[in-house]
Amino acid sequence: MDPQPTQGKPRPDRDAGEGVPARGAALRILDSVLRKGLPLESALDRAAQNLTLPADRALAHAITAAVLRHLDDLDALIDGATARPLPNDAKARMALRIALAQRLVLGTPAHAAIATVLPLVDGGPRKLVHGVFGTLSRSDARLPDPPNLPAAVAERWRIAWGDAVVAAAARLAAMPAPLDLSFASGEGAIEGGLSLAPRHLRLPAGARPTELPGFAEGAFWVQDIAASLPARLLGEGRGRRVIDLCAAPGGKTLQLAAADWRVTAVDLSADRLKRLRANLARTHLAADVIVADALTFTPAAPAEAVLLDAPCSATGIFRRHPDVLHRVRPKAIAALAERQQAMLSRAAAATAPGGTLLYSVCSLEPEEGEQAIEAFLTRHARFAIDPVEAAELPEGITPAAIGTVRVLPGMIEAAGGADGFFIARLKKK
Ligand SMILES: C[S@@+](CC[C@H](N)C(=O)[O-])C[C@H]1O[C@@H](n2cnc3c(N)ncnc32)[C@H](O)[C@@H]1O
C-alpha cells in the first residue's frame, strides 16, 4: 500500500465520503470520553444524533471501542513514528488512533482506513497524519496481543490483586464478551448454549438476543453471569418483600420477581426506570416501581431483604465498556466509596430485623468492595456477614475466606470469563 497522495491520482478521501460520518462521530466520542470523562454509551448517544444510518452508529461504536481497548499500544506506535510527541488531545493523534485501530484491530483495508480519516483533519495536519500512517503501514506495524492495560490501571490492580489478575484482565480486554442470558423459569434450551448456573445460558460472542427463540415471549434477558449472582444469593422469595434500591434497568429486579419476591424497585433515574418497566412488561413479571433517591428514600416499612446494587466506578465491566479504563481515576473512586457508605446506611435502615442486606458493585476496586463492607460493619454493629457457601456459586467462582464474593479476571476464563464484581450478604440482628 502507498498512502502518499500524488498529483493526478484519485484523492482517496474524496472517494470515501460515505464512510466519513462514522469516523467523525468516532472522533467526537473519543474526545468526550478521553477529555471530558463521559461514559462511552452517553458519548455515543450524543454523537449518533448526527448519524442517519444505524450501520454508521455501529461502526462508530466498533471503532471507538477498538481505540479504547488498545489506546496505550496505539499511542506507542504513533510516538515511535513521530519526531516530536503529539499532544495527547491533538486532532492528529486522534485521527491516527482511529485510522490505526481500523487497520490493525478491525481489519479495514489501509486505503479505506486512511481515506475516511483524512477529512477529519482537513485544513490541519493532513500531511503529518498521512505520513505517520504510511510509515507504520510500510513497516508492517502490529499491536501486542493481549493489549497492555493503561499503566495506572495495571498498577492499581497489580497492588490490589497481583500480576496474574492483571495479565488475565489484559486477555479479557481483547476478548469479545459472550452473551449471557438469565431465564425467568426453567432452563433455556438454545443450540450452542452453555449453562453455568440454574436459569442461565451462555452463548458465543456475537449472538443477537433479539434473534434468539424465546426473546419475543420474554423468556430471558441479557445479564452477565457475575451480575446475576447478587439476586441468586437472596434465594427464593416465597412472597417476601425485597427493596431493590438502585434497580434500573432491572436485571436484578427481574430475577427477584421471577424468584417469587414482592419487589419494590427504586431508582433515581426516571429514564432508566422506563427501561425497567419495558423489561417487566416484556418478561410478564411484576414489581412496584418508584422514582426516588436512595440517599433519602424511606420505605413505608422495612423489608425482609434489601438489595443495594450501588452506583460505582464500573471498572469490572471494562471488556464491554473499555472507556472505564481511561476515565475512572482514584479521586472518583474515593468519591463513589463515600456515597456508597451513605447508601449502605439508608439500606441498613430499610432492612427489617432478621433480614438480609445484599450489597454489590461491578467494580474491581477494593475501596468500593471489601473496604466498603469493612467500614460499614465497624459503623453498624447490628450487621454481620452471612457467609456465602461455595455451593451457591458457579464452579470456578469461590467465596473469600470471610464469606464475601469477589469475581476477578481469570475466573471461569476457559468458559469465556465474567465481569468483575464484589458481593457481600449481610444479616441484621
Ligand atoms: C449499577 S446500576 C444498577 C443496575 C441494576 N441493579 C440492574 O441489575 O439492572 C446503578 C443504578 O443506580 C442508579 N442511581 C444512581 N444514584 C442513585 C441514587 N442516589 N438513588 C437511586 N438510584 C441511583 C442509577 O440510575 C443506576 O440505574
Whether residue 274 lies inside any domain: the answer is yes
230 lines ligand 1 (CB under 6 A): no
pLDDT of residue 7: 33
In a domain, 57, yes or no: yes
> Are 286 and 402 found together in one domain?
yes
Do 230 and 344 sit in the same domain of this protein? yes
Rounded Cα distance between 302 and 138, Å, is 67
Diameter over CA atoms, the chain:
83
Ligand 1 pocket residue status of 268, Cβ below 6 Å: yes
235 with 118, same domain? Answer: no
Q: Which band of pLDDT confidence, cut at 50, 70 and 90, is reported for residue 112?
A: very high
Residue 336 falls within a domain, yes or no?
yes
Q: Is the CB of 263 under 6 A from ligand 1?
A: no
- pLDDT for the residue numbered 17: 60
Residue at a domain's end among 89, 104, 138: 138
- 121 domain-assigned: yes
Is residue 244 a part of any domain in this protein? yes
Mean pLDDT, residues 242-261: 98
ipTM: 0.99
* Domain match, 229 and 346 both: yes
- Which of 138, 162, 181 is the endpoint of a domain? 138
Both 131 and 273 in one domain: the answer is no
pLDDT in tens, 41-95: 999 999 888 888 888 999 999 999 999 999 999 999 999 999 888 988 899 999 9
Pick from 138, 161, 184: which residue ends a domain?
Answer: 138
- Which residue out of 267, 313, 359 has the highest number of ligand 1 atoms within 8 Å of its CB and is therefore the one to mutate? 267
**Is residue 320 in some structural domain?**
yes
User: Does one domain contain both 295 and 401?
Assistant: yes
For residue 382, count CB atoms less than 10 angstroms from its CB and return exposed for 0-12, middle for 13-18, buried for 19 or more. Answer: exposed
Atom of ligand 1 nearest to the CA of 362: 1
Q: Is 247 known to sit in a ligand binding site?
A: yes
Q: Which tens digits make up the pLDDT trace of 353-362?
A: 999 999 999 9
Nearest ligand 1 atom to the CA of 297 is 20
Asked whether the predicted pLDDT for residue 410 surpasses 50, the reply is yes
| Residues with active-site annotation | 362
Checking if the pLDDT of 3 tops 60, the result is no
Residues 134 and 229 in one domain: no
For a substitution probing ligand 1, which of 180, 228, 246, 308 has the most ligand atoms within 8 Å of its CB? 246
177-217 confidence digits (pLDDT tens): 999 999 998 766 788 899 999 999 999 998 999 999 999 89
Count of domains for the chain: 2
SS3 181: strand
Q: How far is 159 from 165, CA to CA, in rounded Å?
A: 10
Distance, in Å, from the CA atom of 170 to the CA atom of 164, rounded to the nearest integer, reads 10
pLDDT(1) > 70: no
| Domain assignment of residue 89, given as a range | 12-138
Rounded distance from Cα 269 to ligand 1 centre (Å): 8
Under 8 Å CB-to-CB from 149, ≥6 apart: which residues?
72, 157, 166, 169, 170, 173, 325
> Does the Cβ of 249 fall within 6 Å of ligand 1?
yes
pLDDT band (50, 70, 90) for residue 165: very high
Does an H or E element contain 309, and which? strand 303-309
Separation of 309 CA from ligand 1 center, angstroms? 7
Q: Is the CB of 23 under 6 A from ligand 1?
A: no
Question: Is 251 in the same domain as 129?
Answer: no
Task: Give the Å distance between the CA of 395 and the centre of ligand 1.
Answer: 29
Q: What is the DSSP letter of 213?
A: T
Tell me the pLDDT band of 19, cut-offs 50, 70 and 90: confident
Tell me, what CATH number does 97's domain have?
A: 1.10.940.10
Q: What is the pLDDT of residue 170?
A: 97
Are 245 and 352 in the same domain? yes
pLDDT tier for residue 13 given thresholds of 50, 70 and 90: very low
Mean pLDDT of the chain: 93
Answer whether residue 306 is part of any domain: yes
Is 59 domain-assigned? Answer: yes
Answer whether 269 contacts ligand 1 (Cβ < 6 A). yes
